[in-house]
Structure 1
Amino acid sequence: MAQVLAANPAAMFTVTELARMLGYSGGAVGNACETLAGRGEAERIGSKPRMYRATPATSTAAQRASGPPPAPSPKPSVPHQSAGPAAAASPPGGRPEPITRPNGQRYHPRALAQLPDVEALRRLREAQVPVLLYGPPGTGKTSLIEAAFPDLITVAGDGDTTVGDLIGEYTQDANGGYEFVYGPLVTAMQEGRALLLDDATLISPKVLAALYPAMDGRRQIQVKAHKGETITAADGFYVIAGHNPGVHGAVLTEALASRFSVQIQVGSDYDLAAALKINRKAVRIARHLANSQQAGEVGWAPQLRELIAFQKIADVLGTEAAFANLVGIAPLKDRDTVAEIVTKAVGRPVTALALGRQL
């Protein structure tokens, strides 16, 4: 991808044009282009359609690639691989480099099917195999998806999510009239982007049913509220979902589960927490509670999100306050058990963080 852009520095290319030139799928090319753009090694112009052109850094990226640009062909020579930089997840040393998410935080890839997880998800997208990630909140499901798909559109699901929230609805304009504004599902379909249904199992099954025709062989939906318009998904459109089994009201229906051929359990990587230089006692406490949770002795354990927050609190208010907060954020039914475990690990009584006497 970088070689094509660098060889034509004054030109702009759509994803479809690049896919046709290189012989790869639109999804793979779109991923690669977004990765280049995220690194500053290409510039994205517009959104309908997305177009890309070279930047001063593109030639450097092109030089890193081995050999001349691939010749056009009707099918990629290795169909299961993503094209270009999106597939370059593992450097020569074998350890994948961290990936910068849209919020600026760095995601450290984990192993999945003997691949870095971001590469595995990109391959599944290219093969159009929908994925459901499930596990406790704070384990990194959304972080992984954001790292894998720079072109991501996210729908935060809850019990109040409506069909209009997904597909679109009429909205009053500045002149007092009404215009139809497409929702995230239609936008993702039209632009060939990845769509994350975060907390998908909190969304009503009747609402999710509006999505299913876009996920099957039809890859189409009908917008009944907008003159019965038919929307057909562009190359690259992909649906991925997140599910928190322990959250009240989260129900994985058979209809939803059957749409996601791959279902991946996501737990906290406590080794990563240690590598991020989070307080060792806090990490040991989290491991202990996680083991106790698996044994049914306690219902809650700190996940990576809580451990990252622990270190930030410790840096600002001190370690003692961070341990007290760790006790305080535990569910009420588990708080005494958590306090007992934290107290034993720290060597002094620890109770929930609370205000003291007037100063």
Structure 2
Amino acid sequence: MARLLADRPADALTTGEISKALGHSSGAVVQAVETLVKRGEADRVGAGKQFRANSLTAAAGRTPVISPPGTHSPRAAAATARTTAPAPAPAPSTPNPGGPIRRAGGQLYHPRELADLPDVEALNRLRDADVPVLLYGPPGTGKTSLVEAAFPDLLTVAGDGDTTVGDLIGEYTQDDAGAYVFQYGPLVTAMTEGRALLIDDATLISPKVLAALYPAMDGRRQIQVKAHKGETIKAEKGFFVLAGHNPGVHGAVLTEALSSRFSVQIQVGTDYDLALALRIDARVVRIARNLARQVDLGELGWAPQLRELISYQKIEAVLGTRAALANLVGVAPIEDRDAVADAVSKITGVRQVAPLTLGKQLSAATASAARPPLGSTSSAHRGRQR
């Protein structure tokens, strides 16, 4: 692929054009070209659907570069291997799917066990078998992170009550010249390019809107775009649908029609052992565990998940322990704040923890004295990991 781009340095090529020229599936091409872009060996053009060679592309075409273990999922690694020049040396070992995986945004994802496999590997096997997956659990437990780590070619639809059929399939928009053109949506893009598609917060979307997705998921694997001349879109190999569901969110309803489309449904909760491995204050992890037990018993409606625990760690590093604890109380729903504050006080010994609140106005002299020198670390932060 790098050689193809390097041979046509003035051209901005679509993944479809690259796929046709190389004779590979569009899904494999998407994954491989995204790898080139991440390495800085090709440039994304415009809205991201075209790619062009840069000063590093020719060298990439001459010498295959192997990503370090954990950089991509096994599927992405295989796609890259199929679309780069053959290596003269023996092939390296397959990246360990159980090790940390770097997501597209740069964050590391730490795989968890699923059906005696690393979760990213299990999801890739389900994709190969075309078995749609529903992930459900409280917000902040890592559902989206898992899918992003498993599928570098992922497209995501953030669902809510205002999501329309046009948001999925596409709609007419005005171009710079004032003419109306049909802009395909993420569902059509995923189908034609053989990519993974995550419908996040799917249960917040109207059932009438979700019905537009169902023909693409069943044996037909095609949809009809009524708004655009009634054309038929067929799914390419590799097209795969996942959905996210947050049962406790107001308005989230898992209908029978939606549930029946997902043969595998996976519960996702917070991994407190991972939180400890990430060096989050053990006292705060204990608070979260205790509150989670109360939620399970129906005594509370909220407990901190991994997202809140990671945020706590960052806030503590910047503002100190007391401010981070106050924020932990403040992010809880109002009806649960007293219980959270009580748990914080009992386990940490810090009394009268209340949500972060702006106080009285500071004078210029007071504000200057309160501001720590650049690069300094508060004593609270230095002693937080005991």
- What is the CA-CA distance between 1:352 and the residue it aligns to? 1.5
Q: Does 1:357 find its partner at 2:356? A: no
Q: CA deviation at 1:33?
A: 3.0
In structure 2, what is the equivalent of residue 33 of structure 1? 32
CA contact (8 A) 1:33 1:42 kept: no
For 1:258 and 1:292, the matched residues in 2 are separated by: 31
Instruction: Check the 8 A contact 1:41/1:58 in 2, yes or no.
Output: no
SS of match in other structure, 1:306 = helix
Within a 5 Å distance, the mapping from 1:258-273 to structure 2 comes to 258-273=260-275
**Aligned match for 2:139, one of 127, 137, 157:** 137
Larger Rg: 2
Given that 1:42 and 1:58 are in contact with CA atoms closer than 8 Å, whether structure 2 keeps it comes out as: no
CA-CA distance at 1:295 after TM superposition? 1.6
Judge conservation of contact 1:164–1:183 (CA < 8 Å) in 2: yes
Amino-acid identity (%):
64
Deviations 1:192-234 (A, max 9, x none): 1111100000000000001111111111111111111111112
| Deviation larger for 31-40 or 44-53 | 44-53
Instruction: Encode CA deviations 1:107-143: one digit per residue, 9 max, x unaligned.
Output: 1111111111111111111111110000000000000
Does residue 206 (structure 1) correspond to residue 205 (structure 2)? The answer is: no
Please list the CA deviations of residues 214-264 of structure 1 after superposition, one character each: whole Å capped at 9, or x if unmatched. Answer: 111111111111111111112211111100000000001111111111100
Q: Secondary structure at 2:134's aligned position in 1?
A: strand
Alignment partner, residue 340 of structure 1: 342
Check 1:92–1:165 CA distance in 2 against 1; reply closer, same or farther (3 A cut).
closer
Structure 1 runs not aligned, ≥5 long: 66-80
Taking structure 2 as the reference length, the TM-score comes to 0.76
2:322 aligned residue: 320
Paired AA for residue 137 in structure 2: G
Question: In the alignment, residue 323 of structure 1 is paired with which amino acid?
Answer: L
CA-CA distance at 1:99 after TM superposition: 1.3
Partner Cα separation in structure 1 for residue 205 and residue 316 of structure 2: 36
Please tell me whether the aligned partners of residues 3 and 62 of structure 2 are also in contact (alpha carbons under 8 angstroms). Answer: no
Post-superposition CA distance 1:165-215 (Å, at most 9, x none)? 111111122222211111111111111111110000000000000111111
Give 3-state SS (helix, strand or coil) of 2:39's partner: coil
Question: Deviation string for 1:266-301 (max 9, x for gaps)?
Answer: 001111111111112111111111112112221110
- Report if the CA contact (8 A) 1:41-1:61 is conserved: no
Structure 2 counterpart SS, 1:170: strand
Moved more, 270-279 or 32-41: 32-41
Cα distance change on mapping 1:58 and 1:268 into 2, 3 Å:
farther
Tell me if the contact between 1:42 and 1:57 (Cα under 8 Å) persists in the aligned partners: no
Provide closer, same or farther for how the CA distance between residues 38 and 243 of structure 1 changes in structure 2, counting only shifts above 3 A: farther
**Contact kept? 2:222, 2:233, Cα under 8 Å:** yes
CA distance, structure 1, for counterparts of residue 310 and residue 265 of structure 2: 26
When residues 228 and 92 of structure 1 are mapped into structure 2, their CA distance, relative to the original with a 3 A threshold, is: closer
Flag the 1:42–1:145 CA change in 2: closer, same or farther, 3 A.
farther
Note the C-alpha offset of 1:8.
9.4
Aligned-partner Cα distance in 1 for 2:354–2:295? 21
1:150 to 152, 155, 159: 152
1:74 counterpart residue number: none
CA RMSD for the aligned pairs? Answer: 3.3
CA distance in 2, matches of 1:271, 1:306: 15
- Cα displacement (A) at 1:32: 6.1
Matches within 5 A, 1:221-236: 221-236=223-238
1:165 is aligned to 167
Contact kept in structure 2, 1:86 and 1:119, CA below 8 Å: no
Paired residues, number? 333
SS in 2 for 1:133: strand
Match of 1:345, SS state, is helix
Q: Letter of the 1:138 partner, please give it.
A: G
- For residues 322-345 of structure 1, the C-alpha deviation after alignment (integer angstroms, 9 at most, x for no partner) is 001111111111111111110111
Q: How far apart are residue 318 of structure 1 and its match?
A: 0.5
For 1:157, give the aligned amino acid: G
Structure 2, unpaired ranges of 5+: 9-16, 82-92, 363-386
Task: State how far apart, in whole Å, the 2-side matches of 1:256 and 1:239 are.
Answer: 12
Q: Quote the offset at 1:19 in angstroms.
A: 7.7
Separation of aligned partners in 2, 1:220 and 1:82: 24
1:44–1:347 Cα change, 3 Å:
same
